Amino acid sequence: MNTLDYLVTLTNTPSPTGYTRAIMDYIQSEIAGLGYRAVKTAKGGVMVSLAGADESKHRVVTAHLDTLGAMVRAIKPDGRLKMDLIGGFGYPSIEGENCLIHVAKNGKTYTGTILMHQTSVHVYADAKTAERNQTNMEIRLDEKVTSAEETRALGIDVGDFISFDPRTVITESGFIKSRHLDDKVSAAILLHLLKVYQEEGIILPYTTHFYFSNNEEIGYGANSNLPEQVVEYLAVDMGAMGDDQQTDEYTVSICVKDASGPYHYELRQHLVSLAEEHTIPYKLDIYPYYGSDASAAMHAGADVKHALLGAGIESSHSYERTHIDSIEATEKMVDVYLKSEMVDG
């Protein structure tokens, strides 16, 4: 499988934060199939360690596989569902989206659509203006239910997880449109690099731990289980696009600062030097409302040099888009970094 094959598989595997066992089992199985030993942490993350030429100093490179999602907040008298959101996004970004309800009681999955209660302009005077919030948004189930009792008879209850239809599309012009490119693009890149390193017998200069985390969207991801020899920590996540941002869909975005503060200056400059040396198109950027696995590790007290880079993602935390050029630039950037010497000091 190549990077895009992995990406399509990952985006089509539901994994809202808190409901990630299936995708983490897939990752563990896929890595084992490549010939590595993958270890699952108590929190459900997956780590694979590659012995390097120098085993005294280690690196960690991460990507997260948990996504935005929701849970059943309440069952309404008419049988429809209220939601409680998982992750940092707004209700307007999921209006009209198809979804799955994953039932804990019986293991069944039901389909539905996320809509405003006041959807029909032919019935509701405020259909266009009512606030998109927890009170007004609901899930219309694709089942013959007209009461709370009928919905409960399906097994649906408060706390059942809700995942969103990714609608993954790869266009002839090289664009990839999908929900959850944050951060399944990066996970696909790391999987493909593991595959290439195994097939080509590549020994990295330092022992390197590939850490696939499953709690990043709620603020604590790969912030534990770090071996004491780890000196450098690279989070591979998304580059955020918008007003005042340099990041685009055709380059790798190197973050200089996010909501947690600046990233390690010398390590950031090392990445810039590598990009220029290897003619990798890149942009430097600040993500003002953003955190990463690396910033979570810093908050947890990790004594490491930390950095963050990723493919440029348009419309982050909505129906996202990137381009194959950005994915290729990001994969090359991660590859040359992992094969480079460590930063001094």
Shared domain check, 225 and 150: no
Does residue 304 sit within a domain? Answer: yes
Neighbours of 251 (CB within 10 A): 22
Shared domain check, 75 and 157: yes
Shared domain check, 292 and 210: yes
Does residue 171 sit within a domain? Answer: no
Confidence of residue 225 (pLDDT cuts 50, 70, 90): confident
In the three-class reduction of DSSP (H, G, I as helix; E, B as strand; rest coil), residue 155 is classed as coil
| 100 vs 111: CA distance, rounded Å | 5
Angle among Cα 48, 46, 217 to the nearest 5 degrees reads 130
Average pLDDT of the segment spanning 71-79: 98
Note the pLDDT of residue 223: 85
Taking only the tens place, the pLDDT of each residue in 134-189 is 999 999 999 999 999 999 999 999 999 999 999 999 999 999 999 999 999 999 99
Shared domain check, 250 and 316: yes
Whether residue 191 has pLDDT greater than 80: yes
Shared domain check, 223 and 284: yes
Shared domain check, 306 and 233: yes
Which residue ranges make up the annotated binding site?
64, 182, 217, 237, 317
Average pLDDT of the segment spanning 234-238: 97
Residue finishing a domain among 164, 193, 218:
164
Note the pLDDT of residue 345: 60
Taking only the tens place, the pLDDT of each residue in 275-316 is 999 999 999 999 999 999 999 998 889 999 999 999 999 999
Average pLDDT of the segment spanning 34-53: 96
Confidence of residue 224 (pLDDT cuts 50, 70, 90): confident
Helix (H) or strand (E) holding 277: helix 265-277
Q: Which domain holds residue 73?
A: 69-164
β partners of residue 232: 59, 305
User: Encoding tokens for residue 9?
Assistant: 């598989």
Residue finishing a domain among 123, 140, 164:
164
Count of the separate structural domains present in the chain = 2
Whether residue 16 has pLDDT greater than 80: yes
Average pLDDT of the segment spanning 230-257: 97
Note the pLDDT of residue 313: 98
Shared domain check, 196 and 61: yes
Note the pLDDT of residue 219: 86
Whether residue 64 has pLDDT greater than 70: yes
Residue finishing a domain among 116, 137, 164:
164
Taking only the tens place, the pLDDT of each residue in 332-344 is 999 999 999 999 8
Shared domain check, 48 and 25: yes
Note the pLDDT of residue 170: 98
Query: Quick one: which of 172, 136, 174, 142 has its CA closest to 156?
Result: 142
Residue 298: which CATH number? 3.40.630.10
Shared domain check, 80 and 61: no
Note the pLDDT of residue 220: 84
Note the pLDDT of residue 305: 96
Does residue 345 sit within a domain? Answer: no
Shared domain check, 215 and 322: yes
User: Encoding tokens for residue 263?
Assistant: 């990233």
Shared domain check, 329 and 195: yes
Largest CA distance in the chain: 69
The catalytic residue positions are 216
Which residue ranges make up the annotated binding site for Zn(2+)?
64, 182, 217, 237, 317
The percentage of the chain sitting over the pLDDT mark of 70, rounded to a whole number, equals 100
